[in-house]
Amino acid sequence: MIKARVTVTLKNGVLDPQGKAIEGALGTLGFSGVAGVRQGKVFDLEVEGTDSAKAEADIKQMCERLLANTVIENYSISMS
Amino acid sequence: MKSAVVLVPGLNRDRDMIAALTKVSGHAPATLWQTETTLPEGLDLIVIPGGFSFGDYLRCGAIAARMPVMRAVADAAKRGVTVLGVCNGFQILVEAGMLPGALMRNTSLKFVCREVKLQVANANTAFTRQYAPNQIIRCPVAHHDGNYFAEPEELARLEGEGQVVFRYAEGTNPNGSINDIAGIMNASGNVLGLMPHPENLIESAHGGDDGRGIFESVLAKAA
């Protein structure tokens, strides 16, 4: 089994109202000096097989076609 | 007019849409379950109604957009069939790549359910011919993720080509949408997505019929 982690984040320049709300809440808790918060998503995938290169290529397609909306989001893949 | 309504688990405005289409056109629409790969012959209009398809999991509309029926809807749109997506239906069209841009969380982070004012930004479309240019109409909205976003170049193209069809007017933008965009169409002009719910304002029992013109415009084109 091949394991991989996909991280999806909002592109720079795309407003993240949820991140802003979290940033505000951190300030309310007394954490001063938080200059910015961007919320993202993490997907942990288990892919059958042993061909890591093929799995990574497949996961890239999964990101392009479903896991990320590339209009507003970037993604990164980390194979473990 | 021969119409059809797409059904996906979690959509909940399908009944309102079916009632509106039946009342305006005099014919009940066909229904298209998510697994269908072929559509009825001779459709003039396919509507994707509002709701919360697949519980808004992953991103609003993301999973519904990958269901088999949407491939059939995309093929029909390429052949020139008129397609209308309302609210979650708009999100599904965007996720399916049938309309540009993306719909993000409202800037208020709150679900908004209220009436807004819409400006008919382009009255020369298959969906808006029954309205006057720049006419202001009333329309209800009910959504959590209606904040339209497009890259600056894409936005300039949409504005330049008249693809912005409806805009929130008189300071009623409920979601922070860029350029007050409430509804856009594709370059061919046969696919429209909008966040507000015109199907809920089509007769006096609704308190007005400002939304009726969208359905009547499509009906006039089909006749």
Question: Could you report the per-residue pLDDT of A67-76, keeping only the tens digit for each?
Answer: 999 999 999 9
What's the whole-number mean pLDDT along residues B154-164?
Answer: 98
Least confident of A3-12, A14-23, B9-18, B65-74: A14-23
**Could you give the percent of chain B with pLDDT greater than 70?**
100
For residue A7, give the 3-state DSSP assignment.
Answer: strand
What's the whole-number mean pLDDT along residues B11-18?
Answer: 97
Q: Is B59 on the interface with A (CB under 8 A)?
A: yes
Q: How far is B102 from chain A (nearest CA, A)?
A: 7
| pLDDT greater than 80 at residue B223 | no
What's the whole-number mean pLDDT along residues B39-56?
Answer: 96
Sorted by where each starts, the structural domains of chain A and their CATH numbers stand as 2-79 (3.30.1280.10)
**Which listed residue (B36, B87, B139, B144) is catalytic?**
B87
Instruction: Provide the pairing of β-strand B136-143 with B112-120.
Output: antiparallel
Hey, what amino acid is at B170? E
B44 phi and psi angles, rounded to 5 deg: -95, -30
Q: How far is A17 from chain B (nearest CA, A)?
A: 5
| pLDDT greater than 90 at residue A80 | no
Please tell me the distance from the alpha carbon of residue B38 to that of residue B28, in angstroms, as a whole number: 19
pLDDT per residue over A14-45, tens digit each? 989 889 999 999 999 999 999 999 999 999 99
By the 8 A CB rule, do B26 and B19 touch?
A: no
B170: confidence class by pLDDT, cuts 50, 70, 90: very high
Q: What is the tally of structural domains in chain B?
A: 1
For residue B135, give the 3-state DSSP assignment.
Answer: coil
Using the Cα atoms of residue B133, residue B46, residue B202 and residue B119 in order, give the sign of their dihedral: negative
For residue A8, give the 3-state DSSP assignment.
Answer: strand
- Is B199 among the residues known to form the active site? yes
- Report the pLDDT value the prediction gives residue B30, as an integer from 0 to 100: 98
Task: Provide the residue range defining the domain that includes B106.
Answer: 3-222
Closest-CA residue of chain B to A67: B58
Hey, what amino acid is at B9? P
Nearest Cβ partner of B149 from A65, A67, A72? Answer: A72
Closest to B85 (Cα-Cα) out of B144, B146, B131, B41: B146
Residues paired with residue B166 on neighbouring β-strands, in sequence order: B120, B183
Q: Is B104 on the interface with A (CB under 8 A)?
A: yes
Whether A71 and B66 lie within 8 Å, measured CB to CB: no
Residue B202: CATH number of its domain: 3.40.50.880
B222: confidence class by pLDDT, cuts 50, 70, 90: confident
Return the structure tokens found at B34: 């998510």
By the 8 A CB rule, do B135 and B120 touch?
A: yes
Q: Kindly provide the ipTM of the predicted complex, given to two decimals.
A: 0.86
